[in-house]
Homo-oligomer: A and B are copies of this chain.
């Protein structure tokens, strides 16, 4: 009997009809039945007369299946065994826990240290390999990227391949295409020129999507969530002018093809609010298709440019945030969490780098500060890197190598986060404007004028402040083990065990944190 690990993919491949347009004209569907679940999923056409169906089991034990559809006259039945999840990085899906936090299905805490390489899957093979190698040695456990190619400043080269087949097969002169792309690049928020690529939006390019399969699987095996961006505004190929029928077909195809990867998240769009051809009705319809077709309930959101989407919509599982203000953003994390009652993920909050635009030239120090602020307030954060490059290879879009200084500090942060007792860190209360992440039992009321620490475990993050010392008014009858954490130099220095009024000496530079752990003497 075939075996597959829990939360891995059980895939079956069939030869079937290839006349007409199999993407549209034939269907394939399978029902998978185990002792604990019975799931019906759509399969998909993968070109050359090949149909595939994928299933991710959530329980161990023997499953039976039954595959049928118009793709073939036969009905296929069989069974397989689901074995325990023992592979490295197999913790199941990331889910919302306790309403406003995230965690893996097996109970492992999940702190989302994201990064962004919008168009990495459309780059050359060698660059993609380099990106994967970089990711392997990075702190990142989530990556955002686009299913469609990207046209934008620093993104003027044509992609290595396309998401659709050319309708007529007639070629364009790529030299001319790139020349025009360079000449006509315009600022974001303005509709870029559309060139006539004559795509057939009813024929996904399966070679392209097969590549993405490999990417998503490699990410999965490295323990990296794939935050798939289905649509975005940076288009010159007419992909935002697809009609409703073609768009819905695309959403269904994505769901059938990639839904069985445990590490997939659905991001309906990047900067949805500057895609002029879509309305809220469209987003809600795409969301409804995903809710219906993604039987695994992967995380779903939609990412803003200048206006948050209404994250209170039931289908939105978490807030995928881009700062609305240049100065106040991650410091608002706890307000957003309490407003939407959902996890807050700062997927874009400026990038470390030195390009000319304000969203892409903050320092590594500031990038790291924004991560700490986000996490200490109970949220999550995303990274990106935009350093000027002679060949216009910028991590934020193309992947490649990391040139900046934040990534090791984000690893350090992740290591600290993993020491949190319990399932997650949440927002506490501090006296002097600092962000305080807390965990464990609450042992005191949260009056900041007298009662801190209020929890068994607290991290007071001091951000851009640089005090030479800090006072804590601990209970006289309760001891705390105190560590001084230098979030930039990546050190944890024990500061002893204390009760009562306590003065903690600090080095007087920025980006420090103080950790208090209740101990029993």
Contact = CB atoms under 8 A, between A and B. Distances in A.
Main SS class of interface, A: loop
B466 A357 contact: no
A356 B189 contact: no
A46 B327 CA distance: 52
Contacts of A433: 326, 358
Interface stretch (A173-181, A281-289, A300-308, A359-367): A359-367
Contact of A354 (B331, B357, B432, B508): B508
Contacts of A187: 449
Interface string A98-127: 000000000000000000000000000000
Contact of A432 (B331, B357, B432): B357
Q: Which of A325, A358, A466 has the most CB of B within 10 A?
A: A358
Interface in A434-484: 434, 449, 464-471
A398 to B, nearest CB: 18
Interface in A326-356: 326-328, 331, 354-356
A233 to B, nearest CB: 15
A333 to B, nearest CB: 12
A187 to B, nearest CB: 6
Contacts of A388: 468-469
A385 to B, nearest CB: 14
A510 interface: yes
A433 B349 CA distance: 13
Nearest to A186: B449
A354 B464 contact: no
Contacts of A359: 432
A467 B355 contact: yes
Contacts of A469: 356, 388
A432 B467 contact: no
A361 B328 contact: no
Contacts of A355: 467-468
Given A326-B331, A327-B327, A449-B189, A464 B363 contact: yes
A508 B355 CA distance: 9
Interface string A501-521: 000000010100000000000
B468 A356 contact: yes
Contact of A467 (B325, B354, B508): B354
B358 A434 contact: yes
Interface string A236-256: 000000000000000000000
A93 B96 CA distance: 62
B466 A363 contact: yes
Q: Which of A189, A190, A326, A366 has the most CB of B within 10 A?
A: A326
A201 B413 CA distance: 58
Interface string A153-191: 000000000000000000000000000000000010110
Contacts of A189: 449
B449 A356 contact: no
Interface of A: 187, 189-190, 325-328, 331, 354-359, 361-363, 366, 388, 432-434, 449, 464-471, 508, 510
In order of increasing CB-CB distance, the 4 nearest A-B pairs are A358-B432, A328-B328, A326-B433, A358-B433
11 contacts: A187-B449, A189-B449, A326-B433, A354-B466, A354-B467, A357-B467, A358-B432, A361-B466, A361-B467, A361-B468, A388-B468
